[in-house]
Structure 1
């Protein structure tokens, strides 16, 4: 077994933890992953010694404190957060809303920073909770800007959900909907993720052609009108472009050094 395969097998232990399954016994892990007992226990010891997993006598394994430590370091180092936080604060200072920065990795969409100016939560997906891939403004603001070779498999895999929200009955029709988002530079969704809430999102890029993140504003539908919606969409698009410019400059500066 190569070092890469071994690393992938270790990481697969962490991948099974989710909101629906927060604790696993060794027996459950062996059944889920198909690893032998000696192999699994070797991986569990490695992850436990590193702080990625913890366990108590007579209980299963759960995620450990190293995850929290790395989360803290990410907040201090992620350029999307460092360059985008001021825009979140600006939006919540101006509107009764939640403002979010969302990272795209693999096939997952995850909030990495957020601010809120309302007493009640108006986003169903708080920081760290994976979001639906085929619903909401955030999803569309990212999917619409993906290269065709990357986009088409995602459309096929999520076509039922995309149909359900009215983006089209076929892959071609969905692509037409995404082309409109690309032209506008911003995606708007009405109550697709959180009932009664309007989401407005725009993609964030670094130096590449594919989006790496999205900035989004969510606001109760009764607090928004046509003209105000247009204004907010323009502000979100401008913030996304400004963050993208900063990330691009940062990348170029590092290359020159």
Structure 2
């Protein structure tokens, strides 16, 4: 049952139900999960359906509607991080075979919001819009390593099993020590943790905030990455993350963002 009390929050709780594991919900399932009364739920569903956020089918129940697609279109044209990162993604992909990713960090989720591919058959388990795992992979550690200390510890505690599976550490202190190394290095590298036979290098992106807003990453087939090439990739990813952070920081200050 949702702990949200305001009507706006209660409506958002309905949208939060939808995930890759369950893309369709019946009213009965919603009432059982959220604890809403039938009249209240149907009032909220009508609001969401009228606005295009949901559509319904007699046999399937409710699913996300076309307004979500429209907002995605607008987001790709309004997000300054996407605008600033696009030429950098193209440059990275032109230098090395693979897929250059731009990832947004929000709440406790990692989400690819843009990418550029420079190979005919890219290997990726997480296309644009699919949340990435926490604890496994270069992107996750690049973000986690640069979170404020309290947030970093809580994230490690919440996802310790995932960090352990990735071989980062089996205790909170071991994982935190590994993340300190990532923080010192400025980038994170992972071999086959998220997608088999793929090496990934990632670095965080900051604005004026002390916490990372996202990350830049390159994934390549392991057969395309020699030891010397890996060093070149790591240097480039660090350089790009620093350039993007500097530009976004200036832009945030001009727009009046508060750290």
Q: Which residue of 2 aligns with 1:95?
A: 96
- Change beyond 3 A, Cα 1:224–1:55: same
Q: Is the 8 A contact 2:112 2:126 kept in 1?
A: yes
Deviates most, 117-126 or 134-143: 117-126
Q: Which residue of 1 aligns with 2:225?
A: 224
Q: Which residue of 2 aligns with 1:238?
A: 239
| SS of 1:255 mapped into structure 2 | coil
Show structure 1 runs of 5+ residues with no match: none
Q: Is the 8 A contact 1:91 1:97 kept in 2?
A: no
Cα offsets for 1:40-83 (capped at 9, x unmatched): 00110010011100113443111001101110110001011000
Q: Is 1:50 aligned with 2:51? A: yes
TM (norm. structure 2) is 0.95
Cα offsets for 1:202-245 (capped at 9, x unmatched): 00000111101000000001111111101111101111111111
TM (norm. structure 1) is 0.96
Show structure 2 runs of 5+ residues with no match: none
Separation (CA, whole Å) in 1 of partners of 2:165 and 2:66: 40
Q: Which residue of 2 aligns with 1:188?
A: 189
Q: Is the 8 A contact 2:53 2:68 kept in 1?
A: yes
Q: Which residue of 1 aligns with 2:117?
A: 116
- Change beyond 3 A, Cα 1:221–1:30: same
Separation (CA, whole Å) in 2 of partners of 1:252 and 1:131: 29
Separation (CA, whole Å) in 2 of partners of 1:79 and 1:207: 13
Q: Which residue of 2 aligns with 1:163?
A: 164
| SS of 1:235 mapped into structure 2 | helix
Cα offsets for 1:162-193 (capped at 9, x unmatched): 11222112111111100100011000000000
Aligned positions, number: 254
Q: Which residue of 2 aligns with 1:207?
A: 208
After TM superposition, what 4+ stretches of structure 1 lie above 4 angstroms from structure 2? none
Q: Which residue of 1 aligns with 2:12?
A: 11
Q: Which residue of 1 aligns with 2:78?
A: 77
Separation (CA, whole Å) in 1 of partners of 2:254 and 2:39: 48
